[in-house]
Amino acid sequence: MHPILSQAHATEVHSLCDTLTLYPLDELSVFEARGTEARAFLQGQITNDIANAGPEQARLAGYCTAQGRLLATMVIVWTPDSGTAAVPNTLPEDTGVLLGLLRRDLMASVLKRLSMFVLRAKAKLNPTAFEVVGVSLATSQLKALSQQLGHDLPTAAWQALTAPTGLWLCAPSAASDAMTRWWWLAADSQRAACETLKLGYTLKTPEHWQALDIAAGLPWVEAATQDLLIPQTLNLDLIEGVSFTKGCYPGQEIVARSHYRGTVKRRMHFGQVTQTQGLMIQAGSDIFDALGSEQACGRVINSTLVAGASAADSSVAHLLFETTFEALARNALHVGGRDGALIRLGELPYATKPA
């Protein structure tokens, strides 16, 4: 069992917070950037502006090649250093530590590449021992959970809070979800705080959390989709993941040109596929238009399979995929071939109109 969850109490839920759900997220890991120039260094490497972000503000960002193609997506937050009290928006520039939430399978390659460009900057990047758990709760029960934890919780997407129990980052949710979601990051010294969480909770799989990310239109670059797509194709500019005023970073000219010239012809969309035996849908799988060209018209960005509620119910694959607006309008998209599994198109909680 996940190291954090092994200390908590999975029970039949009989508490004030009977919608509390935890999801072990072993596929995510956390790196740190320390040093008096760490923030300035990362500011010049990623697509979003972290220079003006205080310790209560997380930032979604992409990390690109010089050609503007994404090598990773990540969530960055500036926190007080260990043992330092969190006072919102008052940390001096050269204090605290930057934490980055990143897919575990990309951690080594991304840190290696970033470290190549540190040069003489006073910054060091390293993986951390933080464990990551997804937490969701009906928004109506926020007060009860806060009372049990002994501290408030962030309630708007991309807000952050450093507390004795760990770091809480509020994740975006689909507009139809009457729930609040967090990434909960806890170090060894903070896991004991789980003993104060005497609530019953429901334990769900990482796939259920990934389905919530997909419904929210939140993409994660995976190894199969590295160095292929610009930030706009993954809608990062639509979900506060790109700043067009912050200045230079690798690929900035390409990203800005696509934005200001209105040349974004492909976007990321949401869909579902009823899973049949033997069908494997993975990141990087080709998408085909049955009414268009015989060539692939797009690819899967993220996919997760959620089992049916009972043995009689079909499993459903939830997808984020990219394609052209022309192919999307024909609504005849299939995975793996023109006669492959049909994608049922869904709506994202934000508009993806042609630029």
Among 73-87, 181-195, 252-266, 319-333, top mean pLDDT goes to 319-333
Domain boundary among the residues 205, 236, 267 is at: 205
Same domain for 150 and 278: no
User: What is the predicted pLDDT for the residue at 11?
Assistant: 42
pLDDT digits 0-9 by tens, 22-38: 999 999 999 999 999 99
Does an H or E element contain 255, and which? Answer: helix 252-260
Domain for residue 216, yes or no? no
User: Which CATH number do you get for residue 102?
Assistant: 3.30.1360.120
Most confident of 49-58, 103-112, 191-200, 270-279: 103-112
What's the chain's average pLDDT? 87
Cβ–Cβ under 8 Å, residues 97 and 123: no
- Which DSSP helix (H) or strand (E) runs through 111? helix 104-116
Tokens at 56, concatenated = 């209560």
Strands (E), 104-178: 124-127, 131-138, 160-163, 166-171
Tens-digit pLDDT profile for residues 233-250: 999 999 999 999 998 999
Q: How many domains in the chain?
A: 2
Side by side, which strands form the sheet with 124-127? 58-64, 70-79, 97-103, 28-34, 124-127
Q: What is the pLDDT of residues 187-233, one digit of tens each?
A: 877 766 666 555 678 899 999 999 999 999 999 999 999 999 999 99
Written as six digits, the tokens of 71 are: 């090598």
Is there a contact between 269 and 322 (Cβ–Cβ < 8 Å)? yes
Walk across the sheet containing 179-186 and list its strands: 160-163, 166-171, 179-186, 131-138, 21-24, 202-203
Residues 227 and 191 in one domain: no
pLDDT given for residue 191 in this prediction: 64
- pLDDT over 70 at 95, yes or no: no
Same domain, 16 and 159: yes
Neighbours of 115 (CB within 10 A): 13
Task: Determine phi and psi for 115, rounding to 5 degrees.
Answer: -65, -25
Whole-number Å distance between alpha carbons of 344 and 29 = 32
- Does 321 lie in the same domain as 194? no
pLDDT tens for residues 314-330?
Answer: 789 999 999 999 999 99
Separation between Cα atoms, residue 114 and residue 97, nearest integer Å: 16
Q: What are phi and psi of 211, to 5 degrees?
A: -65, -35
Query: What was the pLDDT predicted at 85?
Result: 38
Q: For residue 233, what are the contacts with CB-CB under 8 A and spacing of at least 6?
A: 264, 266, 267, 268, 322
What's the pLDDT band for 92 if we cut at 50, 70, 90?
very low
**Are 161 and 129 within one domain?**
yes
Which residue segment(s) compose the domain that 127 sits in?
9-205
Q: Would residue 323 count as lying in a domain?
A: yes
pLDDT above 90 coverage of the chain, percent: 68
Query: Do 125 and 83 share a structural domain?
Result: yes
Q: What is the CATH number of the domain that holds 258?
A: 2.40.30.160
> Which amino acid, 83?
G
| 37 located within any domain | yes
CB 289 within 8 A of CB 327: yes
Instruction: Say whether both 176 and 295 belong to one domain.
Output: no
312 found inside a domain: yes
Domain boundary among 155, 174, 205: 205
Report yes or no: 296 and 287 within 8 Å, Cβ to Cβ. yes
Q: Are residues 229 and 153 in the same domain?
A: no
184/283 same-domain check: no
Residues 231 and 259 in one domain: yes
Residues 31 and 124 in one domain: yes
Instruction: Verify that 192 and 65 share a domain, yes or no.
Output: yes
Instruction: Check whether 348 has a pLDDT greater than 90.
Output: yes
